[in-house]
Each structure stands twice: as structure tokens, then as C-alpha cells.
Amino acid sequence: MKIACLQMDIKYGEPDANREKAKRMMEEAAENGADVIVLPEMWNTGYQLDELAQIADQDGQNTKELLSALAAKYQVNIIGGSVSVKRKESYYNSMFIFDRQGNQVGEYDKAHLFTLMDEHHYLEAGQRSNFFPIDGMLCGGVICYDIRFPEWIRKHALGGANILFVPAEWPKPRIDHWEILLKARAIENQMYVVAVNRVGADPKNIFNGHSMVIAPWGEVILNGGEEEGIGYAEVDLDEVRRVRELIPVYKDRRESLYE
């Protein structure tokens, strides 16, 4: 499976410009033979949360139409990162997933809101986990800050996810935490972790990429560096089974001690 990680610079509060850039990058990735395309967090607006009434995607409709059309045209799976969405009178940080036929196969609202970027003042937290199929393999998806909650990631692993997708806007000052946490989540859950972080800046933060694809044994297959661009990684879908057989942590768990 060839995965394309779209490490893009996001224009602050400019959904039209961001949609056009995302479209161009997705088309390039598809034309280069990607099986799965992954976008970063809040790629439609960035974190201009105080303007969501004007710029959030109503019911995610614009995002869904774009992702569905491109997925069907190029017969590629798209993990739609996340976008700011308005539903009724509330706002969410939402991920949409589409298969090769352009069908929506997953949807997720960020469960853990990041207080340092004021998400809790503007957004509603999600209430559900996120499982979806990609070419017959069960996968999971969370968003950015979610990876600091190992019990949340373990829930997805126990539910059968073999690959965890993580779109993010992770700021530069804590990028070492990003890399360490992603490696830990891959190793402890014996799964692939595909994490896509943005680059660029907004009025309050600097973002420096380091999008990563990490194997179940902890090897870093891709580190996207600090520049805007598309990173590609090939993953071996049998590796999850091999690693879980080698060290059977799932069989050796003692659930009665964890309650």
C-alpha cells in the first residue's frame, strides 16, 4: 500500500484558497500512484476559531463533495485530515474518509479538545471512536491531541485497527513530543501510525511538519521534514500480524488489573 502524506501550508481563515491547494496536492499524489492520500488537521481554515460562523464548512458539504469526487475520479482512498464544520449551531473538528469509489466510509469528531489552542471555547468534542475499512483492512483515525491519551488509541487497537491515521496541527515547540508519542503509540499497539502535520504559521503558532509513517516495530519509514510537500511511504500490510505474533502483548494483557 502506497501512502501519500500531504504536508501542506494552510492559509489562515481562507477556505477557498486552502481547498484549491488541497485539490492540487491530492491530484498530484493520485497521479503518482498513491493508494491512500492523507491530509492534515483543519486544512480548510486553520485555527481561526473566532471566525467559524463565517468560514466553517456547513455540514462538511464542500469538503465531502471535493473528497468524494477526487476519490472516485482517481480510484484512491482519501483520509480527509480534518476540517472545521458547522452542524446546526455547533462547530466541530471533523474527519471524513472516502474509499476508491467515492463512498464515505468514516466520520469522526475530535474527542479531546486542546485547551492551549482554545478549542474548548469554540468546538464541541466528539463522542465516538473511529473505525473504517481501507482496501479491506480495518483502520482507525484520531486527531492531533488525541495521541496524548494512550487509552483512546488502545481502544482503537483493541477494536481491530491495523493502521492509525493522525492528522495534526502540532506546533514546533513540542515537535519532539510529537515524534516520541507517535513512536510509542505504534510500538505499544503494534500497528502502523500514519501522522500528517502541517507546516507554516498562523498568528499564534509555528508549525514545522515532521509528518511520519511508523511501522509496528517502531521503524520510521517516513519523516517529512519541515518543508511543504508530499511524502510517500510503502507499508507492508502483513507486518502487523508478524509483529503481534512475535511479541503477543494482546494475549498477555491482564484486563482485570486495568479497571
Each residue of 36-85: pLDDT tens digit?
Answer: 999 999 999 999 999 999 999 999 999 999 999 999 999 999 999 999 99
pLDDT confidence of residue 92: 98
Give this prediction's pTM. Answer: 0.97
Helix, strand or coil, per DSSP, at residue 104: strand
The Cα-based distances of 49 to 32, 59, 256 in angstroms read: 34, 16, 42
List, by residue number, the catalytic residues: 41, 110, 144
Buried b or exposed e, range 160-195, using 16+ CB within 10 angstroms: ebbbbbbbbbbbbeebeebbebbbbbbbebbbbbbb
Residues of the chain with pLDDT under 50: none
pLDDT confidence of residue 200: 98
Q: What is the CATH number of domain 2-257?
A: 3.60.110.10
The Cα-based distances of 2 to 5, 6, 80, 222, 225 in angstroms read: 10, 13, 16, 12, 19
The domain spans of the chain are: 2-257
Q: Which long-range contacts (CB under 8 A, 24 or more apart) does 58-65 make?
A: 58/85, 58/86, 59/85, 59/86, 59/87, 60/85, 60/94, 60/96, 62/15, 62/19, 63/19, 63/96, 64/96, 64/104
pLDDT confidence of residue 259: 83
